[in-house]
């Protein structure tokens, strides 16, 4: 659902232009005025078109697409992504910007040694250590109970015997096998066999878990491909965004979904998620203008180039003239100045 904001005179042939806030393309100031790449681009195009217009603001891109489908607006100047499905349903302008999905991570001011120490004494890592000790104590105690009457020299009575059992469980799990302690009873030998196979599974699982826990802060920094991305936990996205659809297309699920990119960046800065996937130019702009520098950074990797366009209902009478004006403007020097103004790279 959208609401109408008067911009120019409300003549009978006033154009209704759908927009939703999407920095740096569409930015709504506190006083209700609009600016941004798409706004400045449209102002340049509209100077030659000489038609009155009004902006109709929507809460998200889905609302704009629905309004185009129902014919409630004339067109949208938001940077909508061109897809084969949309080309069959709407008229799509000349692309004016090429964007892609960027990856943002938290920035740490600590050294790698400090990060390792902090992770080593973190609650997650200590929980793993305590669980491992509990399993060792369980099997060690069980063997001691079975062996203490028939193997008193290796599994002594009392507390020292419990330590003997713990020592046996530890050296067996690590495959060191000093041979100084070994079960003699059939029941003890059966427990030993069970523990050997169990230990193989445990040591493999715990090695992977410990490595993941100790490197969680550096894992995201090594993302260079889609396969690397799939190995990262706690990925955040903005709901109904291209990054959310990107995860679905690649059989991945987001850890958390946010309403806006700004909200998602705040969550990333608080380390509620490990990485954030979103439009790269939007992330870059928000990081620079919302005091996230030093807390959040963009990686060099990106995914899926996307062509951003104006979008019209089928057979719209103003499509050709707007599209011609759009092409003329983006080929001129004014567009390059606009890109520099908002810190966007020239596609």
Give 73-112 as a 3 state SS string: CCEEEEEEECCHHHHHHCEECCCCEEEEEEEEEECCCCCH
| Residue 97: inside a domain | no
Whether residues 175 and 124 fall in one domain:
yes
Whether residues 172 and 208 fall in one domain:
yes
Q: Could you report the per-residue pLDDT of 236-294, keeping only the tens digit for each?
A: 999 989 999 999 999 999 999 999 999 999 999 999 999 999 999 999 999 999 999 88
| Residue 83: inside a domain | yes
Mean pLDDT of 92-100: 95
Whether residues 270 and 327 fall in one domain:
no
What total of structural domains would you count in the chain? Answer: 3
Last-in-domain residue among 165, 196, 214: 214
Whether residues 10 and 82 fall in one domain:
yes
pLDDT at res. 153: 82
| Residue 99: inside a domain | no
Whether residues 148 and 210 fall in one domain:
yes
| Residue 180: inside a domain | yes
| Residue 240: inside a domain | yes
| Residue 239: inside a domain | yes
Whether residues 195 and 252 fall in one domain:
no
User: Which residues span the domain enclosing 234?
Assistant: 104-111+223-304
Query: How far is 61 from 244, CA to CA, in rounded Å?
Result: 13
pLDDT at position 53 over 60: yes
Nearest to 18 by CA among 95, 72, 88: 72
Whether residues 317 and 300 fall in one domain:
no
Whether residues 204 and 256 fall in one domain:
no
Cα dihedral 104/106/110/113 (nearest 10): -80
Beta strand 296-312 with 97-106: parallel, antiparallel or unpaired? Answer: antiparallel
Whether residues 210 and 234 fall in one domain:
no
Mean pLDDT of 32-53: 94
Whether residues 205 and 127 fall in one domain:
yes
Question: Helix, strand, or coil here: 238?
Answer: strand
Whether residues 241 and 289 fall in one domain:
yes
Whether residues 239 and 300 fall in one domain:
yes
CATH of the domain at 154: 1.10.287.70
Last-in-domain residue among 214, 233, 267: 214
pLDDT at res. 7: 42
Last-in-domain residue among 145, 179, 214: 214
Mean pLDDT of 183-202: 90
Beta bridge partners of 211: none
Helices (H) and strands (E) in the chain, counts: 14, 12
Rounded to the nearest 10 degrees, what angle do helices 280-289 and 261-269 cross at?
Answer: 60
- Least confident piece of the model among 82-86, 151-155, 320-324: 151-155
Q: pLDDT class for 119, splitting at 50, 70, 90?
A: low
CATH of the domain at 273: 3.40.190.10
Nearest to 204 by CA among 310, 274, 132, 267: 132
| Residue 18: inside a domain | yes
| Residue 181: inside a domain | yes
Q: Could you report the per-residue pLDDT of 286-321, keeping only the tens digit for each?
A: 999 999 988 999 998 899 999 999 999 999 999 999
pTM over 0.75: no
């Amino acid at each position: 659902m959208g609401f109408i904001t008067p911009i120019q005179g409300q003549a009978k042939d006033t154009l209704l232009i759908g927009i939703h806030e999407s920095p740096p393309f569409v930015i709504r100031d506190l006083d209700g005025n609009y600016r941004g790449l798409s706004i400045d681009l449209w102002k340049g195009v509209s100077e030659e078109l000489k038609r009155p217009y009004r902006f109709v603001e929507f809460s998200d891109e889905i609302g704009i697409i629905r309004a185009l489908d129902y014919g409630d607006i004339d067109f949208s100047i938001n940077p909508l992504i061109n897809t084969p499905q949309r080309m069959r349903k709407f008229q799509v302008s000349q692309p004016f910007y090429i964007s892609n999905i960027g990856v943002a991570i938290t920035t740490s001011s600590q050294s790698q040694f400090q990060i390792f120490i902090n992770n080593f004494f973190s609650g997650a890592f200590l929980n793993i250590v305590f669980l491992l000790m509990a399993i060792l104590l369980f099997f060690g105690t069980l063997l001691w109970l079975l062996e203490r009457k028939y193997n008193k020299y290796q599994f002594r009575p009392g507390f020292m015997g419990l330590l003997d059992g713990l020592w046996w469980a530890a050296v067996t799990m690590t495959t060191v096998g000093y041979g100084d302690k070994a079960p003699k009873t059939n029941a003890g030998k059966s427990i030993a066999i069970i523990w050997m196979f169990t230990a193989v599974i445990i040591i493999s699982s715990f090695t992977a878990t410990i490595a993941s826990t100790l490197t969680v802060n550096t894992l995201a920094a090594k993302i260079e491909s889609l396969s690397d991305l799939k190995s990262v936990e706690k990925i955040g996205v903005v709901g109904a965004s291209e990054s959310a659809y990107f995860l679905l297309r690649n059989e991945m699920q987001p850890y958390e979904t946010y309403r806006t990119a700004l909200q998602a960046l705040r969550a990333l800065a608080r380390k509620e998620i490990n990485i954030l996937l979103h439009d790269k130019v939007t992330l870059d702009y928000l990081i620079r203008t919302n005091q996230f520098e030093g807390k959040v950074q963009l990686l060099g990797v990106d995914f899926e180039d996307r062509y951003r366009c104006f979008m019209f209902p089928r057979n719209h009478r103003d499509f050709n003239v707007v599209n011609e004006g759009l092409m003329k403007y983006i080929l001129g020097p004014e567009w390059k100045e606009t890109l520099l103004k908002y810190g966007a790279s020239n596609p």
